[in-house]
């Protein structure tokens, strides 16, 4: 019990440290909070009257895609913070202290989870102001929260792996390019049927599409497609597990150099 309590205290300390770093970094405020809100505003304002997505409004359609794109942007911040810890030498100092090494990584992950959820709330509030009317069913919101937390954790652990591997903050920030592009090549902003054939095949089978489709149905109170929902959950769990163990291996190798 005493060992478990110490590990918990170590993790809490590292989470507080990561929050302090984010608070002192104005780029985090811009990238993680202001930019996603502006993206929602721009997409609805520029394309709301041009793109037709069936019986629902465009703002209702794109909310899940914008949420996942915001998670991708926030993951870049996590990768940069992790990379600075590794390249500045502070990580080596932490490893000489009587703390659990995993608590260092957990601090970044939990801070990223809270930061991403805060960003998601802001994006949803902006969407509501633009006409978004979500479902009020608690079960639907529970599904959205589970999937959102799952993709946040998956991309955050990927960010940790990238931050450990690359040798500069610029290299770490490149992660956002892939994470931002994936929601575009999915059902996030237009139905996949409207995409060119090659892109449509990729969009139909990449992880973002089932996650976005399930979140959209839940947010709008539509009947859930159970098979799509299961695929979305499996993608989230599988990506979290793969990137978690990859991060642990890379972290151990980096610290042993």
What range defines the domain where residue 75 resides?
2-255
Interatomic CA distance for residues 148 and 81, integer angstroms:
22
Does residue 181 have a pLDDT over 60? Answer: yes
Interatomic CA distance for residues 22 and 17, integer angstroms:
9
Q: Kindly report, residue by residue over 111-152, the tens digit of the pLDDT.
A: 899 988 988 888 888 888 888 888 878 899 999 999 999 999
Does residue 232 have a pLDDT over 60? Answer: yes
What are the C-alpha distances in Å from 172 to residues 36, 71, 214?
20, 15, 30
Q: Phi/psi class of residue 89: alpha, beta or left (left: φ > 0; alpha: ψ in -120 to 50)?
A: left
Q: What b/e string do you get for 184-207 counting C-beta neighbours within 10 Å, with b at 16 or more?
A: ebbbbbbebeebeeeeeebbeeeb
Per the prediction, the chain carries an average pLDDT of 84
Question: Ranked by mean pLDDT, which of 159-173, 187-201, 231-245 comes out on top?
Answer: 231-245
Interatomic CA distance for residues 79 and 55, integer angstroms:
39
The SS3 call for residue 257 is: coil
pLDDT-derived band at 7 (thresholds 50, 70, 90) equals low
Q: Kindly report, residue by residue over 15-24, the tens digit of the pLDDT.
A: 888 878 777 7
Q: Kindly report, residue by residue over 202-228, the tens digit of the pLDDT.
A: 999 999 999 999 999 999 988 889 999
Residue pair 114/106 in contact by the 8 Å Cβ criterion: no
Percent of the chain past pLDDT 70, that is, above it, reads 92
Residue pair 61/55 in contact by the 8 Å Cβ criterion: no
Interatomic CA distance for residues 127 and 83, integer angstroms:
33
What is the pLDDT at residue 58? Answer: 85
> Residues 83-89: what's their mean pLDDT?
84
Does residue 25 have a pLDDT over 90? Answer: no
Across 14-18, 22-26, 59-63, 230-234, least confident range: 22-26
Name the H helices within the chain: 2-24, 26-29, 35-47, 58-88, 90-96, 101-129, 138-165, 169-173, 175-184, 197-205, 208-220, 226-255
Full-model pTM: 0.90
What is the pLDDT at residue 1? Answer: 47
Interatomic CA distance for residues 147 and 237, integer angstroms:
10
What is the pLDDT at residue 87? Answer: 83
Q: Shortest CA distance to 71 belongs to which of 165, 219, 176?
A: 176
pLDDT-derived band at 27 (thresholds 50, 70, 90) equals low
Report the domain count for the chain: 1
Interatomic CA distance for residues 70 and 53, integer angstroms:
22
What is the pLDDT at residue 18? Answer: 81
């Amino acid at each position: 019990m005493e060992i478990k309590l110490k590990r918990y205290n170590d993790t809490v300390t590292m989470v507080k440290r990561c929050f302090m770093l984010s608070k002192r970094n104005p780029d985090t405020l811009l990238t993680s909070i202001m930019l996603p809100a502006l993206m929602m505003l721009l997409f609805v304002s520029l394309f709301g009257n041009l793109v037709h997505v069936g019986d629902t409004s465009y703002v209702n359609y794109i909310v899940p895609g914008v949420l996942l794109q915001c998670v991708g942007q926030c993951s870049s911040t996590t990768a940069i913070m992790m990379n600075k810890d590794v390249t500045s030498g502070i990580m080596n100092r932490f490893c000489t202290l009587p703390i659990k090494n995993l608590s260092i990584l957990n601090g970044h992950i939990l801070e990223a989870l809270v930061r991403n959820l805060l960003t998601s709330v802001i994006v949803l509030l902006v969407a509501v102001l633009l006409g978004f009317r979500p479902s009020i069913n608690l079960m639907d919101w529970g599904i959205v929260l589970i999937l959102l937390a799952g993709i946040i954790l998956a991309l955050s652990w990927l960010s940790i792996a990238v931050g450990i591997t690359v040798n500069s903050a610029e290299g770490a920030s490149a992660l956002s390019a892939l994470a931002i592009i994936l929601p575009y090549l999915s059902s996030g902003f237009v139905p996949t049927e409207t995409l060119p054939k090659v892109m449509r095949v990729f969009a139909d089978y990449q992880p973002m599409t089932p996650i976005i489709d399930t979140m959209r149905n839940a947010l709008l109170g539509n009947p859930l497609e159970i098979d799509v929902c299961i695929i979305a959950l499996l993608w989230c769990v599988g990506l979290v597990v793969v990137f978690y163990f990859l991060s642990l291996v890379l972290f151990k190798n980096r610290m042993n150099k």
